[in-house]
Structure 1
Amino acid sequence: MKGAKKMPIKAISVDMDGTFLDSNGYYDRDRFDTVFQAIQQNGILFIVASGNQYAQLKSFFPNKDEQIIYVSENGALTFQNNRLLAKHTFSIEIVKKIVAYLTQESENLEFVLCGVSQAYMTKSASLRFKEFAKTYYFSLNEVEDFKILPNDDFVKFALDVKETEVNRVVLELNSRFKNHIKAVSSGHGSIDIMLPNITKGTAVRQILEKNQLDVNELLAFGDADNDIEMLQLTKFSYAMKQSSNSVKSTAHHQAPSNNESGVLQIIETVLQL
């Protein structure tokens, strides 16, 4: 990779769905074990940065918790060694307003309400939506309704709509709750309602600062709009082959497809494996 010798990579951040994981939600574990051993030997931080829940993310990397930093819920929560290092939460007032809009004023948009402790959805949710939710949220509780909020702090709303409806719904949400939220596409019909000014990029930057690393010592990978701020951090940023145009125009480089282990290919090249 051009410039790598002048600025050695000391941290790697990877999105999961559409980036590190293939289309079936898997990755080459044997190949990664070899790469991860080299990452450790070179003293490189490995950061998993996803819109998904911490409980789900760590399930992909058994016996590696001590060596991985997890940025979950699009930057709202950061974990290491099963310890919460940082959290950013919505005010209860905003949560109530968003819940009211989604349940009463919108076109019955189904959603997962993501808390620090676990995630929540209604028992009356459609079977299709329940399957979606269970794929991404391992710690998931079904509630009767959201008239009374669960006893938790809340960090994100997750929606799943038709792909043709994503842009319209995102625009409507951002217009309705301007300055209070940031709604973004997270790929394949998924929409995340996030805290404004809290992103994967802000969380990864904080990790770099804590470890006294420069942003251009970071190698970053992503494929969806919720990765953009992370990719903007470093000149060593890679958009996956199948990324949206906005992601490709943000990243400085392009990686092979997630179905070709594109992330591992680039890391192997950088580390000269």
Structure 2
Amino acid sequence: MISPRIAFVDVDGTLIDSGEVIAPSSIEAVRLARQNGHLVYLSTGRASVEIYPAIREIGFDGAVSAGGGFAEVGDDVVISRTMPEDAVARMVAFYEDAGYDFYLQSYDKLYPSPGVRARFATYLEDDKERQGDPRPDLGSVTGADEHPVLKAFADVRPFTFTGIAKSVFLAGDLRAFERVTNALGGDFHVITGTIPHMGRGSGEVTLGGVNKGTTILQLLDLLGLDAASAIGIGDSNNDIEMLQVCGVGIAMGNATAEVKSHADEVTTSVLDDGVWNAFRRHGLI
């Protein structure tokens, strides 16, 4: 009998592509793996509130969200790694002084600056032109109404400095990553390249030491599982620590060269059965 494994699956670029469509094989892989007695967790830079219902409905045992800021087992939040209020205040002050659009992620709310919705609307429209007509065999995870991310970013509420685990910055300035790193890098974990096509003008910031990998280790300890039994699958820079701590780190075929260099192996791309092939290779399905 095969011993149960635990798999951590990134969302953007791994489970779904940048056009937010999903290969049917990915849905089937997750469901079959769980039917076979394995655990399957989401591991995403998205806040929990940004994980669309269509993704949740695939069925997962839990999630690591906000780039390691939170972890859920079932419906219960079991890990919360939020920033001190003064750290959030310092971060927000820097963004505002620099003129960068940004948003803050708590567990169940987003706090966008006023320009975020318009920036994402432009990004989504540009991405739609790049993608062209979606393949008829693929399903969208966003539904037919207004795109959920635009709906979320339309609510510009006063910032809070409590309960914040991560921020995302969006700028036309190609030096944004260097500027953010120089200003915040001493106390924060700053990475770039997490939003396709925005390059070094975007990135995300967590508290120093907070990332998917370190939170996964805490979660595995709570679950009483060995990291050697874990499989991590991702494509972006915020997945690197996850790939490093899991017994098997798998990069998607569409992953960056840097991510692939930290992986134990590479599967096929997101819409070419990448998750299915990884699960199949390691006996989950």
TM-score (norm 1): 0.83
Q: Say whether 1:71 aligns with 2:84.
A: no
Measure how far apart 1:184 and its partner are: 0.5
Match of 1:159 among 156, 169, 180: 169
Structure-2 residue corresponding to 1:120: 111
**Whole-Å Cα distance in 2 between the matches of residues 222 and 251 of structure 1?**
9
For 1:81 and 1:213, locate their aligned partners in 2 and report how far apart those are by CA, in whole Å. Answer: 16
Aligned to 1:11: 6
Residue number among 88, 93, 100 corresponding to 2:86 in the alignment: 93
The equivalent of 2:51 in structure 1 is 57
Q: Could you tell me which residue of structure 2 aligns to residue 247 of structure 1?
A: 259
Mapped partners of 2:116, 2:26: distance in 1: 37
Indicate the residue corresponding to 2:76 in structure 1.
83
Aligned to 2:181: 174
SS of 2:165's equivalent? strand
Q: Structure 2: 5+ residue runs without aligned partners?
A: 125-146
Identify if the C-alpha distance between structure 1 residues 159 and 263 changes in structure 2 by more than 3 Å, giving closer, same or farther. same
Once the two structures are overlaid, the 10-residue window that deviates more, 231-240 or 122-131, is 122-131
Please report how far the alpha carbon of residue 124 of structure 1 lies from its aligned counterpart in structure 2 after TM superposition.
5.0
Aligned residue number for residue 109 of structure 1: 100
Cα distance in structure 2, aligned partners of 1:269 and 1:77 = 29
Indicate how the Cα distance of structure 1 residues 64 and 120 shifts in structure 2: closer, same or farther if over 3 A, else same: same
Aligned-partner Cα distance in 1 for 2:83–2:121: 24
Q: Quick one: which amino acid aligns to residue 165 of structure 2?
A: V
CA deviations over 1:233-257 (Å, ceiling 9, x no partner): 1341111122222211100101111
The alpha-carbon distance between structure 1 residues 132 and 223, as it changes in their structure 2 partners (threshold 3 A), is: same
Counterpart for residue 245 of structure 2:
233
Checking the alignment, whether the CA contact within 8 Å between 1:55 and 1:138 is kept in structure 2 is: no
Q: How much has 1:93 moved relative to structure 2?
A: 1.1
Against the structure 1 CA distance between its residues 270 and 138, is the aligned structure 2 distance closer, same or farther, given a 3 Å change threshold? Answer: farther
Query: What is the DSSP-based 3-state SS (H/G/I as helix, E as strand, rest coil) of the residue aligned with 2:155?
Result: strand
Percent of pairs with identical residues: 21
Counterparts of 1:267 and 1:79, CA distance in 2: 22
**Distance of aligned partners of 1:206 and 1:139 in 2 relative to their CA distance in 1, 3 Å threshold:** farther
Cα 1:11–1:187 change in 2 (3 A) is same
Equivalent residue number for residue 198 of structure 1:
210
Q: Secondary structure at the match of 1:258?
A: coil
8 Å Cα contact 1:228/1:250 also seen in 2:
yes
Aligned residues: 258
Given that residues 184 and 226 in structure 1 are in contact (C-alpha distance below 8 angstroms), is that contact kept between their aligned partners in structure 2? yes
CA contact (8 A) 2:180 2:190 kept: yes
**Matching residue of 1:27:** 22
Note the alpha carbon deviations across 1:85-109, whole angstroms, 9 max, x for none.
11111111111111111111x2x21
Considering only aligned residues, what root-mean-square deviation do their CA atoms show, in Å? 2.7
Cα 1:137–1:224 change in 2 (3 A) is farther
Cα distance change on mapping 1:43 and 1:129 into 2, 3 Å: same
With over 3 angstroms needed to count, the CA separation of the structure-2 counterparts of 1:267 and 1:126, relative to structure 1, is closer
Asked if 2 retains the 8 angstrom alpha-carbon contact of 1:208 and 1:215, the reply is yes
The alpha-carbon distance between structure 1 residues 114 and 138, as it changes in their structure 2 partners (threshold 3 A), is farther
1:52 to partner: Cα distance:
0.5
Alignment-mate amino acid for residue 231 of structure 1: L
**SS where residue 19 of structure 1 aligns?**
coil
- In the TM superposition, residue 210 of structure 1 has moved relative to its aligned partner by 1.8
